[in-house]
Amino acid sequence: MLHRDYITLKKIIEETDIAVQMLGETELNDFMENELLKRAISMTVINIGELVKNLTQDFREANSSIAWKDIAGFRDIAAHKYKTLDMKLVYNSVKIDIPELECNIKKILSSEV
């Protein structure tokens, strides 16, 4: 693994931690009513997607079990179509997908040691 990819993966983990911490135990209804939290979480999703785009193509291909393209695409939607963004998808992504992504990245990192 290139050093660049290693550093990027560490930054993705930082962002996933932030998203999970910000959301905490917030229920969907409370999330939907909290504009500040929705915007903060959306920005974190954008950050994660942008970091994914910085991973080398070789790395992404070597770890194709992770849906890198979908993550980057979700970033584009969150960044460019915020007003039409389905916040339930954002919520579910932070509750389900982001912890799974973090787990998968930690496995990759531990296999490199």
pLDDT single digits (tens) 27-36: 999 999 999 9
Compute the distance between CA of residue 23 and CA of residue 108 in angstroms, rounded to an integer.
25
Domain membership of residue 95 as a residue range: 3-112
What pLDDT is stored for residue 34 in this prediction? 97
Q: Domains in the chain: how many in total?
A: 1
User: How far from the centroid of its chain's Cα atoms is residue 37's Cα?
Assistant: 16
The residues assigned a catalytic role are 75, 80
Q: 53-64, pLDDT tens digit by residue?
A: 999 999 999 999
Higher-confidence residue of 81 and 73: namely 73
